[in-house]
Structure 1
Amino acid sequence: MLDDDPAIVARRRAERDRVECEIALGASVSNDSQRIEDLRARINAFVDASTSGHVWGVDALRFNVHDRPSGVNRRATLRGSIRVGDGAAEDGWLVARIARDVTMTFDENDVTCARVWDEDGEFVLVECAETLEAWVTPERAEGTTFFVRGELRTVDGDALGGEPGGERTRRAMEIVEKTKGLGIATQEMVRARLDAVETRIVEHRHAAFAIMPRLCARILAKEPQLVALAMDSLRARDPVGLRAAAKMEVFEPKDFHPTLVQMSRALFVQITSEHFDAPPTYSTSCDDPAERRAREIGMKIACGLEMFIAEWTPRKSSDGESTSDGEPEDDPAWERFKSSLTTNGYFREEIMGSKLYKDLLTTAVREYRRSGLATKVRRVQNEYVQRVSEILDEKYDADDVPHANPSDASDEDWLVNAEQELMEELARLEKEREKSLVEATKKAKSFVSRESGFEGVDHNATPGSCPGDLNIPNGDGVFNLDAQTFLKELGKALRMGDDEKFRAYMGPYGVDSDDDQSSDSDDADFDFPQSDNESVSSRGLPEDDYFDAPPALRIPKSTSQIPTPPMPTFLPPLLSYCIEHDHCNVPAGTIRDGLRLGQWLNGQRSRMRASIGRPIGMNATKEEKLRELVNAGKLWIDSPGRRDWDEAMDALERWAMATNGGVDFNCPHDLKYDDIRLGAWLTTQRMRHRAGEQARTPLKPEQRARMDALVAAGKLWLDKADTWESKFEAMLRWSERVTGGAHCNVPYDCQFDGYRLGIWLNTQRQRFRGNTTKNFKLSDAQRTKMQDLVDRKKLWITVPTDTWERKFDLLLAWGNEKHAGEHYNVAQQEEYHGVKLGAWLGTQRQRMIGKAGKSKPLTNEQRQALQGLIDAGKLKPTVRRAPKSPKRRAPKSSPTNNPMEPSTKRAKR
């Protein structure tokens, strides 16, 4: 039977993130067991007072004795932990707040320090990472970060050795009181975060209106924390709990009472979004939607409480011993016990899940439960169950369960405004980062102006001296820049020892690289603008080529002292190519003398096209030489295959006359006409027209005028007509035709009425959320239309969290409608209510055997739902197939393969 199977009886609950807290007691207390227990009780009472009215996400924080002294300078410690449920991250910070306050409230002789951590390490340090000193790294701070009298301190773990949480932490506890606290900025940031915990928790409290059995209302009124434990059991849904919920023996569905249930907002979201069908004995039907919702909330809580009591109530055999041999969960003592058994070879290196392993594990669990080691754990686990029994045994008083109205419940506007609050929080954090960046920039500028002087080049040494041999002083104390030596030293800094390679990299003058890797760019060269009266020297620089620098660094006007730079590196191989081929039009992929000559030449053509009509700049020698080759007919700047703008426009006009009598010039994008890619060309001209003078190559006035004339005549459009309304109407038609008007969530790959409707809707969702920069914002009218569909539950903007459950419900509806519930094996290509149900089911089968692909693994609840159909014989599972062994082919019977009949070649041999 299912009841006797330990693998099924064991609770299939996923381990949630844990936040743990450890409190180190003083040396005077550690050796006195009675004082330890008294202090533990006082600290737990302090926790209760600090968290009054708060409902934890899953577990309430409780401290127990964790470690007792076993040697010199060893301290007793108390430890408590909580499971942080979905959306209950603030509970972790509440634990950190309690740890800090305990060290501030209790006498330092009783409590010396406290530490908090989660599975990722010291999460308090993560909050203030930007202010930490450089030596405080995760490796050096793990297990050695404490609160001491409210101050955050870290001991260098590398200096202590040992494992975090073990010997290293114990050593750190002994010296942390003598350790200096972290920086002031760190302390302020941590203090601000912890002080804000109480406000945040109060803001996230929620009073939900529910209609439930009166017994449930009585229990929750006296023990509000039970609603979290009930929800935890409801989401786990193990077989023991499901059987109990089907019977509802403790909380019978009768004597319903309207009440308010205190919880957190995160817990309220879990309850309302959790899909759970009411047991057959529990009815939630009602004509009023608000009342039906309240009854469903009450039903989920009541069923969860029923499951919780069934799970945690020990089942007794005839001899009075517990029959549950499943592994204890959330039990550190059991984990240590099992680890010890594994280390000592108890499991005989058996594979986990084998029959012998299960038998050994069952025996170990049984012996552990009989031992005194588990007594305290059992007491903690059964504490709430015993409390429920006490409440049920108490005399009933009507005042214990006050009557509530729907208007008494908390406002639920925060469900709608959650996204807005998130965006505001992100904007606030962004402003803080910008502020920090501005401050850092100011500090950097201050440092540069203070230390570097004029534009970073002031030299503070005495006149006539200079570090190294880059500048050789003359008698007047004026430095003369030796360009060759400077480039040589720069080459060393760039680790380019070969002078030829360095010159090839830097170009002929060391200021411009001729090796332009771009194939065709319209970027202008780095020209110095100059007026008409500026003369240009033979090297392409204005003669007045010096700046108003301090006298110590001023370069003389005379250029005779500056060596003539070498000839450009790329020109000799280009001229050599010209001699060989009688032209200089080097193909783009040509490499000569180790230089990418073709790519470089394409870059020079682009620069020369951009520099027509502009002053010649620093590459004057190179450009003049190239233009000489152009004038001699040896080199082209514009490709002979490139069509003139007017020629392309004339071709467009001929196409319009031939196809529609010249009424419409809007040709298709892929049109090729008269050997011209006319559609792509027209798209580019529209972009240039819209960009105006900001275009990389703006249209000429006469070109723009010719296009404007066509636009004015209605023969050419620049911005495509808005098809939003027609596509929106097509979406509504799709909804009526495919889903009967149930929803408008078009599948992504859907094409309808000639529109790629799924892709369009995905884009509109992005525009609605505001997280796309590729499209314009939605207009107010468009946003209003989409919001109306969202409000009517016909359109989602953000992917719903219950998508899987909805499709599973569709699967059940399909089976009930098509096959009266006999099976749910949807064909691969079949669709149902606009959903590709067959493809979805195929994906779930693959996920069941561990082949999730790009999908996330199935959750326990999803796997259990599918497994239930498989066990009932209503769903075919996917069977893992062993790889086929390759077939061996028999050799063909031929004269060549038959040794008794040698081939002609063999005969010749």
Structure 2
Amino acid sequence: MASSHDNNDDPFSTTNHRTHTSPDTIFYTIHPDPPTTPSQLHTLNLQILTTLTPFTTTYTWHHTPFTLTPTETHLHGHLRYGDNLDDEWFVVFLLFHVSRLFRNLSIRVWDSDGEFLLIEAAFHLPKWVNPETAGNRVFIRGGEVCIVPKKRVPGEVKLEDALRVLIEFPDECRASDGVQSVIKRRVDEFPEKAKRNVHRARVLVPISVAKVLRQEPCMISLAVEGFYDRDIDSMKHAAKMEKFLTKGREEELVLVLANMSRAMYAQLMQQKFQAPKCYPMPPVPPKTDQSTYLEAELGMKIACGFEMMYQQKKREEEEGKGSTWEAFRDSLETSGYFQGLLPGSNEYKRLMENAKEYYKKSAVHREASEMLSAPVKRIDEILALPLSMDDFKVQEVPSSDDNSWLYGGEEELNSVLTERQREMEQYEEKKKRKQKGKEKVNEGDSSIPNENDVDLGDIAKSMKAFMDKVSTYEGAEVPEDSDLKDVDFDMDRFMKELGAATMNPAQDVDSDDVEGGSSSDMDFDESEDDSDMEEEPEEHGDMKQKDFMHAYSDVLNDELKSTTLKKSFVRANDNAPNKNEALSGARDEEMEDDFTPVDVDVNLVKSLLDSFSSQQGLPGPASNLLGLMGKQLPLDDVAKPKHNAKPKDS
């Protein structure tokens, strides 16, 4: 929410401040169905936290705990999970648990990488879902993953539109069963996995550290963070141990049980660290027991972490600096507040002092100071309590948990990798099945035993058989295995439209024009009636038809002499239909009038193959005609048609 200092004209305005969050951060927002008042939001916040208390009370967070903050319309929060990825998925479990109990909530969750729920279920997502289209689309509602469909809100999605669609179309928003099962498998590991994530270890620590761990056991996360993220400046504080080792080497160590996450324990154990000279470490084995030395070494790292964390946060609070100050200063540099001045110049220093003064007075600084000084003040309060050494000596400390998991884990890792491999194989298999289905649709009849073994003679025979089929207005008969669908054809309507299109032009044409401009050389004597035609002798009719066909053929050949059409035909005496002479149409001039019989079958197959090749794998007349005959050519033949041999029985 904007503060009272928000002002676009103010270079120190908090609107220019961009929160720089850690890359290992998870964000979440909870949106109740409208209408909701601020009072109802505060009540909801309390109800949710109360519901989650049984799960979070004993859990040790790696960095920061799970929190919720009310705004005017929703609840929100964020949490650093650091190297402990289980923290992130534990938050997801908590949010799913909340969504099951409060059915009128729409919950968003994402991290620095984006919609990590979709990343987890990447093999089960629809194709249109990607990082660019997933913004404001992924929610948790009613204990299930929901994705706002593209058909309801195309393009960029506004949050209010997404929330409306979630309420109005819940069934359409529910993600697929594949997505649900993947996320459910990760979530169902909790809360049992959260319990397994806790590691208890016996440690020897100064009494000051023991006091803090007894009163605020969760502060161990701050100590481990201070130790793990140490730098040269913080190491100087560890060398003195002014706060937690006031007596120096005379300080007595006490045995306590520290609860931490496995990730914290690994961070402490896997780093070598030399104890400060002022720290009272026991003698190195074999002068002392091995387990005692390990407990003291682990306690030393925790104590140094507390010292470094305390001193750093105290200094930041005193100087009015911290992560928010760094972000605020960066925003000033980006906005051009320093006017390109060199750092260290007098004018630069003056502007910097003004910025610091403004920051100290701003609400941002007050909130940051309270957050940074909270552990400092709490530690001061705890150390002021009257606790003696006897309070820790009389108690019995349980044994440490088995830490074999630290040196093993190979089996668990292999299990995770195997599961991922299985998902990938299933995804690839699914893709192959879809691809095969598409190929079957594109190729037509999939029952051909070997589609690359095509008998060209069969094509010629099939064409002959196809031409001999009975043909009516409903179409030609086709092979029974061609798997054709019936066509709904209205014959009466077709004849009416055909008559309307041809009636008037036929009546307007003069009979003389028909005689003079006929597209054929056939003239019929319309004066003859049907009875005369029926009485004509059959032999006489056959003779007239033969005479007509010869005359028609002579005229047609005369017309085609001036064209190159006859050169494209393959003659019966050619050795192969794809000889260079046949393909190029080159003939000697002395053979120009040679009417060697045309090999009909070879020319038919050659024409079909040439037509099929010109389609380049796309639908076309050749593939359609072959499909009607129940034949199919392989796509490989598009580039190289196999018509270099005559069909059998040609």
TM-score category of the 2 structures, normalised to the smaller one: 0.5 to 0.7
C-alpha displacement of 1:324: 0.8
Alpha-carbon separation, structure 2, partners of 1:216 and 1:114:
40
- The answer for the alignment partner of 1:388 in structure 2 is 379
TM score, norm. by length of structure 2? 0.61
Provide closer, same or farther for how the CA distance between residues 399 and 358 of structure 1 changes in structure 2, counting only shifts above 3 A.
same
Contact 2:103 2:142 in 1 (8 A): no
Alpha-carbon separation, structure 2, partners of 1:508 and 1:28:
66
C-alpha displacement of 1:105: 2.8
C-alpha displacement of 1:404: 6.0
Provide closer, same or farther for how the CA distance between residues 389 and 418 of structure 1 changes in structure 2, counting only shifts above 3 A.
same
Provide closer, same or farther for how the CA distance between residues 40 and 312 of structure 1 changes in structure 2, counting only shifts above 3 A.
farther
CA deviations over 1:866-890 (Å, ceiling 9, x no partner): xxxxxxxxxxxxxxxxxxxxxxxxx
- The answer for the alignment partner of 1:178 in structure 2 is 168
Provide closer, same or farther for how the CA distance between residues 434 and 107 of structure 1 changes in structure 2, counting only shifts above 3 A.
closer
Alpha-carbon separation, structure 1, partners of 2:208 and 2:44:
36
Contact 2:241 2:304 in 1 (8 A): yes
Matched, 1:192 2:185: yes
Provide closer, same or farther for how the CA distance between residues 80 and 509 of structure 1 changes in structure 2, counting only shifts above 3 A.
closer
Provide closer, same or farther for how the CA distance between residues 429 and 388 of structure 1 changes in structure 2, counting only shifts above 3 A.
same
The equivalences for 1:691-730 within 5 A come to none
C-alpha displacement of 1:474: 3.5
Alpha-carbon separation, structure 2, partners of 1:369 and 1:39:
34
1:62 is paired with a residue whose SS is coil
Matched, 1:84 2:173: no
Structure 2 residue aligned with 1:17, among 21, 24, 34? 24
C-alpha displacement of 1:18: 1.1
2:408 is paired with a residue whose SS is helix
Provide closer, same or farther for how the CA distance between residues 352 and 314 of structure 1 changes in structure 2, counting only shifts above 3 A.
closer
Contact 2:123 2:424 in 1 (8 A): no
2:406 is paired with a residue whose SS is helix
Provide closer, same or farther for how the CA distance between residues 81 and 456 of structure 1 changes in structure 2, counting only shifts above 3 A.
farther
Indicate the percent of aligned positions where both proteins have the same amino acid.
25
Alpha-carbon separation, structure 2, partners of 1:160 and 1:369:
45
2:132 is paired with a residue whose SS is helix
- The answer for the alignment partner of 1:127 in structure 2 is 120
2:381 is paired with a residue whose SS is helix
- The answer for the alignment partner of 1:212 in structure 2 is 205
- The answer for the alignment partner of 2:302 in structure 1 is 301
Name the aligned partner's letter for residue 485 of structure 1: L
- The answer for the alignment partner of 2:5 in structure 1 is none
Structure 2 residue aligned with 1:280, among 261, 270, 277? 277
Contact 1:259 1:401 in 2 (8 A): no
1:408 is paired with a residue whose SS is coil
Contact 2:123 2:423 in 1 (8 A): no
Structure 1 residue aligned with 2:366, among 366, 372, 375? 375
Provide closer, same or farther for how the CA distance between residues 130 and 509 of structure 1 changes in structure 2, counting only shifts above 3 A.
closer
C-alpha displacement of 1:304: 0.6
- The answer for the alignment partner of 2:234 in structure 1 is 241
Alpha-carbon separation, structure 1, partners of 2:111 and 2:56:
20
Name the aligned partner's letter for residue 319 of structure 2: S
1:153 is paired with a residue whose SS is strand
- The answer for the alignment partner of 1:490 in structure 2 is 613
Provide closer, same or farther for how the CA distance between residues 31 and 186 of structure 1 changes in structure 2, counting only shifts above 3 A.
same
Alpha-carbon separation, structure 2, partners of 1:399 and 1:122:
50
Structure 1 residue aligned with 2:65, among 54, 60, 64? 60
Provide closer, same or farther for how the CA distance between residues 90 and 447 of structure 1 changes in structure 2, counting only shifts above 3 A.
same
CA deviations over 1:90-122 (Å, ceiling 9, x no partner): 2111122222222333473xxx32211111111
C-alpha displacement of 1:432: 4.3
2:203 is paired with a residue whose SS is strand
Structure 2 residue aligned with 1:230, among 223, 244, 266? 223
| Higher RCO, 1 vs 2 (CA within 8 Å, ≥6 residues apart) | 2
Name the aligned partner's letter for residue 609 of structure 2: F
- The answer for the alignment partner of 1:324 in structure 2 is 319
Contact 1:59 1:82 in 2 (8 A): yes
C-alpha displacement of 1:439: 6.4
Contact 1:246 1:280 in 2 (8 A): yes
1:257 is paired with a residue whose SS is strand
Contact 1:84 1:91 in 2 (8 A): yes
Alpha-carbon separation, structure 1, partners of 2:76 and 2:196:
28
Alpha-carbon separation, structure 2, partners of 1:155 and 1:43:
25
Provide closer, same or farther for how the CA distance between residues 360 and 78 of structure 1 changes in structure 2, counting only shifts above 3 A.
farther
Matched, 1:419 2:410: yes
- The answer for the alignment partner of 2:55 in structure 1 is 50
Provide closer, same or farther for how the CA distance between residues 162 and 311 of structure 1 changes in structure 2, counting only shifts above 3 A.
farther
C-alpha displacement of 1:129: 2.0
Provide closer, same or farther for how the CA distance between residues 358 and 121 of structure 1 changes in structure 2, counting only shifts above 3 A.
farther
Structure 2 residue aligned with 1:150, among 143, 155, 158? 143
1:116 is paired with a residue whose SS is strand
Gaps in structure 2 of 5+ consecutive residues: 1-19, 452-458, 470-476, 480-600, 619-635
TM score, norm. by length of structure 1? 0.45
C-alpha displacement of 1:303: 0.7
1:113 is paired with a residue whose SS is strand
- The answer for the alignment partner of 1:169 in structure 2 is 159
Aligned residues: 461
Alpha-carbon separation, structure 1, partners of 2:270 and 2:349:
37
Alpha-carbon separation, structure 1, partners of 2:384 and 2:420:
53
Contact 1:471 1:482 in 2 (8 A): no
Structure 2 residue aligned with 1:431, among 422, 430, 436? 422
Contact 1:22 1:79 in 2 (8 A): yes
Name the aligned partner's letter for residue 135 of structure 2: E
CA deviations over 1:378-427 (Å, ceiling 9, x no partner): 3333333333233323343756787566x811112212322232123222
C-alpha displacement of 1:442: 6.7
Alpha-carbon separation, structure 2, partners of 1:560 and 1:418:
72
The equivalences for 1:391-470 within 5 A come to 391-396=382-387, 408-435=399-426, 452-455=445-448
Alpha-carbon separation, structure 1, partners of 2:638 and 2:428:
37
Please give the root-mean-square deviation of Cα atoms over the aligned residues, in Å: 4.2
Provide closer, same or farther for how the CA distance between residues 416 and 339 of structure 1 changes in structure 2, counting only shifts above 3 A.
closer
C-alpha displacement of 1:207: 1.5
C-alpha displacement of 1:470: 9.3
C-alpha displacement of 1:341: 4.6
1:275 is paired with a residue whose SS is coil
Alpha-carbon separation, structure 2, partners of 1:507 and 1:43:
66
Alpha-carbon separation, structure 1, partners of 2:336 and 2:102:
45
Contact 2:144 2:174 in 1 (8 A): yes
Provide closer, same or farther for how the CA distance between residues 334 and 170 of structure 1 changes in structure 2, counting only shifts above 3 A.
farther
Provide closer, same or farther for how the CA distance between residues 44 and 368 of structure 1 changes in structure 2, counting only shifts above 3 A.
farther
Gaps in structure 1 of 5+ consecutive residues: 1-12, 69-74, 316-321, 459-465, 496-504, 513-537, 542-557, 562-909
Alpha-carbon separation, structure 2, partners of 1:390 and 1:297:
25
Provide closer, same or farther for how the CA distance between residues 24 and 399 of structure 1 changes in structure 2, counting only shifts above 3 A.
farther
- The answer for the alignment partner of 2:8 in structure 1 is none
- The answer for the alignment partner of 1:98 in structure 2 is 94
C-alpha displacement of 1:203: 2.6
Name the aligned partner's letter for residue 226 of structure 2: S
C-alpha displacement of 1:429: 3.0
CA deviations over 1:319-338 (Å, ceiling 9, x no partner): xxx64143x31x4x985x66
Name the aligned partner's letter for residue 270 of structure 1: Q
Contact 1:160 1:171 in 2 (8 A): yes
Alpha-carbon separation, structure 2, partners of 1:351 and 1:143:
42
2:79 is paired with a residue whose SS is strand
Structure 1 residues 41-50 or 54-63, which shifts more? 41-50
